[in-house]
Amino acid sequence: MVAQESAARESAPPRLYRRFAHLFHEVGKFMGVGAVAYSFDLALFNAAVYLWAWEALPAKTFSTCVAATIAFVGNRFWTWRHRPRSRLHREYLWYFLFNTIGLGINLLWVWAYEWANGIWPSVLDNPIALNLVANVIGVGTAAAFRFYSYRTWVFSDTGR
């Protein structure tokens, strides 16, 4: 009876936290690894576009591939280190399959930016707009897809 009363008096946030603590910790670690990888992605993308004069799509492809390699190491050995392991080549192949899809999501945003830039260049033809689309909107939507995919299929509880 006393346990029921104390449980009933406990507010929703502590109960939710206890129930989803493992998920909050995984999201936090994923975001930490992502922040490191993102800094490389951002720096390499801007260097490729503004220093090396690459086009936006190849620059984003290059920067994402380097960042994905960095993120794989961080996610495998830190974010999901508590999960059962399958063979490295299996995880690596699945990881890069889902990264390729994530890259496609990001490139779709860059393509849409370039298409819209052809219609409205007075507003969109600047480094801030390109970085907002490629490195905030594109990276954000691709990261949500990647987190779900990595957690579900690459570094799964079952070690598939």
pLDDT computed for residue 5 by the predictor: 57
Q: Is residue 9 part of a domain?
A: no
Residue 104 lies in a domain: yes
How many domains does the structure of the chain reveal?
1
Per-residue pLDDT tens for 31-51?
999 999 999 999 999 999 999
Residue 65 is assigned to a structural domain of this protein: yes
Domain limits at 46? 14-154
In this predicted structure, what is the pLDDT of residue 36?
97
**Per-residue pLDDT reduced to its tens digit, 113-123:** 989 988 888 88
Res. 23 pLDDT band, cuts 50 70 90: confident
Read off the pTM: 0.73
Q: What is the overall mean pLDDT for the chain?
A: 87
Q: Which of 144, 147, 154, 149 is nearest to 109 (CA)?
A: 144
Structure token pair of residue 83 = 């999960």
Collect all residues with Cβ–Cβ distance below 8 Å to 64 and sequence separation of at least 6: 41, 99, 102, 103, 106
Q: Above 70 in pLDDT, residue 25?
A: yes
